[in-house]
A and B are shown apart, each in its own frame.
Chain A
Amino acid sequence: MLEIERINVSYGDLQVLWDVFFEVKKEEIVALIGPNSAGKTTTLKTVSGLLRPFAGEIRFEGLAMGKMPIHKRVEMGISLVPEGRGLFPGMSALENLELGAFTAKGRNCKEETLAQVYELFPILKKRKKQAAGTLSGGEQQMLAIGRGLMSKPKLLLFDEPSWGLSPLLSKVIYEVIGQINHSGVTILLVEQNVRMALQLAKRAYVIENGRIVKQGDSRNMLNDQHIKEVYLGTESV
């Protein structure tokens, strides 16, 4: 479904991604893991169109879209739940959700999707009139995910969904990501919480210093010596 072909991305003179490649197949959950500032967020920003690769190509359902503007990619079915949530803090929770359904496709089935989102996160219905900036961290993450669903995406990108959440809330969010995947949405997950990500994803890629250094089945990764030492710490068995 999504093929990343040796993309190179830079901020001005500073190159941050070097020949990054990976693939996400239809209805899969793929995790992209790696340390801080390895290029995970940059990769997601490039897939969603906030950044452009200066070399390499991104294909979605076979279509080259390295130069396609962001809003076109949303129309094609790619949705990003950004790092730090990226909500519209001064607007109500409901308005945030409505904006998620900005595309023609999203608007056509807005009420229906909204009902599904409220089913996933009942608290959002209670909070719908409240300004997004006044919600708790967990509620904000729920709102960001709900908003991401409102465009009826085929591929949902998550950037650190457990960021700033308690372990308990992280678990809740991860369960929901699993449910979303069961409903047929393909998922690409970027995460620092490597253990959680590997437990949820089927396959994973490891990115370090802007390069993909490892790829494979998540289960194998959990037992990989390098992964254990660097990402899972001493507590791992």
Chain B
Amino acid sequence: MNLQVFAQSLIFGIFVGGLYGLAAVGLSLVFGVMKMLNVAHGELLMLGGYATFWLFSLYHIDPFLSLLPSAFVLFLIGMGLYKGLFSLLAKLHEEMKIKNSLLIGFGLSLVLHNLAIRLWTADERSVSVFYSGWGFSLFGLRFPFIRLAGLVLATIVILALQQFLTKTYFGKAIRATTENWESAALMGINIEKTSMISFALGAALAAMAGTIVSVGYAIHPAMGLEWTLKALIVVVLAGLGNIGGAFVAGVLLGAVESVSTLFVGPYMEVVGLVIFLLVLELRPQGLFGKSIG
């Protein structure tokens, strides 16, 4: 096989993988703190994409500049969703909590999906900026500017999140709640508030991923499930609650999927799922997780 085609696939895979990582980090954060799986995470990503799309279409705000406004809008929506839906589950026993959060998440994803069709039609949309076609070539390989910028931004966001979680008091409170919420409460940490902020932060991270997707790729109302699935595969690959690992695992999944296209064509989606099953079977704590118990 042509080495250049292989390398080009690998590069595009890494670009998209950075976004998988960013999407997964939000899901992982929320799961870690609340022990709830938000299966509507992909729909929040979709909303973030639309926020950016409309900010661009109506007000001509550059998509990379609307990264933060979109994230802020979804942060507020996240707070509302937590207060209105997920906080009701907080008092339930762990097993009941995860089961009920799945039901609420599925319901929410259906509502958001259909709401998006109703409001914005089922059309596929994409933000096309004047620099969409820019890029450069290196060793005969193509590096489109917007995708490269997307990967760089995703990396910056993850590094910033990492700093927030390790350097600030509130970030440490989030990690403490993830490790042992009872002990965290005994430190004087307000678990309810920490959960709400973490959920909102998860939504904001989804929105940032959605923003980048709307520029380099395309958005549509039905995209949510696909992104939830990707994020879920990445979270399992990395090990639950492992933020740094989620990003690396995302890049890995993107690269593997992209390269496997060369061999299995349209079945590349299956490759991700097969890896998902293999990891669950052989290394349930994830590639970078510590062994359980």
> Are A and B a genuine interacting pair, yes or no?
yes
B186 lies within 8 A of A48 (CB)? yes
Bound-state CA distance A200–B144 (Å) is 72
Bound-state CA distance A159–B75 (Å) is 40
Please, what's the 1-or-0 string for B176-220, where 1 marks a CB less than 8 Å from any CB in chain A? 100110111111111110000000000000000000000000000
Closest residue of chain A to B186 (Cβ to Cβ) is A80
Bound-state CA distance A86–B179 (Å) is 10
A50 interfacial by beta-carbon distance below 8 Å: yes
Q: Choose from A49, A86, A95, A107 the contact partner of B180 (Cβ within 8 Å).
A: A86
Bound-state CA distance A48–B182 (Å) is 11
Given the known interface contacts A91-B172, A98-B172, the answer about A69 and B186 at a Cβ–Cβ threshold of 8 Å is no
- Chain B contacts of A107 at CB under 8 A? 169
Q: Nearest chain B CB to A140's CB is how many angstroms away?
A: 12
Given the known interface contacts A86-B180, A88-B179, A91-B179, the answer about A71 and B172 at a Cβ–Cβ threshold of 8 Å is no
Near B by CB (< 8 A), chain A positions 49-90 give 49-50, 69-71, 74-75, 79-80, 82, 86-90
- Chain B contacts of A102 at CB under 8 A? 169, 173, 187-189
B175 interfacial by beta-carbon distance below 8 Å: yes
Q: Choose from A48, A71, A91 the contact partner of B189 (Cβ within 8 Å).
A: A71
Q: Nearest chain B CB to A65's CB is how many angstroms away?
A: 14
Q: Nearest chain A CB to B245's CB is how many angstroms away?
A: 12
Closest residue of chain A to B192 (Cβ to Cβ) is A69
Q: How large is the interface on B (under 10, 10 to 19, 20 to 34, 35 or more residues)?
A: 10 to 19
A106 interfacial by beta-carbon distance below 8 Å: yes
- Chain A contacts of B172 at CB under 8 A? 91, 95, 98-99
- Chain A contacts of B190 at CB under 8 A? 69, 71
- Chain A contacts of B184 at CB under 8 A? 88, 99
Q: Nearest chain B CB to A149's CB is how many angstroms away?
A: 12
Please, what's the 1-or-0 string for B69-105, where 1 marks a CB less than 8 Å from any CB in chain A? 0000000000000000000000000000000000000
- Chain A contacts of B191 at CB under 8 A? 70-71
- Chain A contacts of B187 at CB under 8 A? 74, 99-100, 102-103, 147, 151
B183 lies within 8 A of A151 (CB)? no
Beyond the given pairs A88-B176, A99-B187, 12 more chain A to chain B contacts, judged by CB atoms under 8 angstroms and listed by A's residue number, are A50-B186, A71-B191, A82-B183, A82-B186, A88-B183, A88-B184, A89-B179, A90-B290, A99-B172, A99-B173, A103-B187, A147-B187
Identify 10 residue pairs between A and B in the complex whose beta-carbon atoms are under 8 Å apart, listed by A's number.
Answer: A49-B185, A70-B191, A86-B182, A86-B186, A99-B184, A102-B169, A102-B187, A103-B187, A147-B187, A151-B188
Q: Which residues of B contact A (CB under 8 A)?
A: 169, 172-173, 175-176, 179-180, 182-192, 290
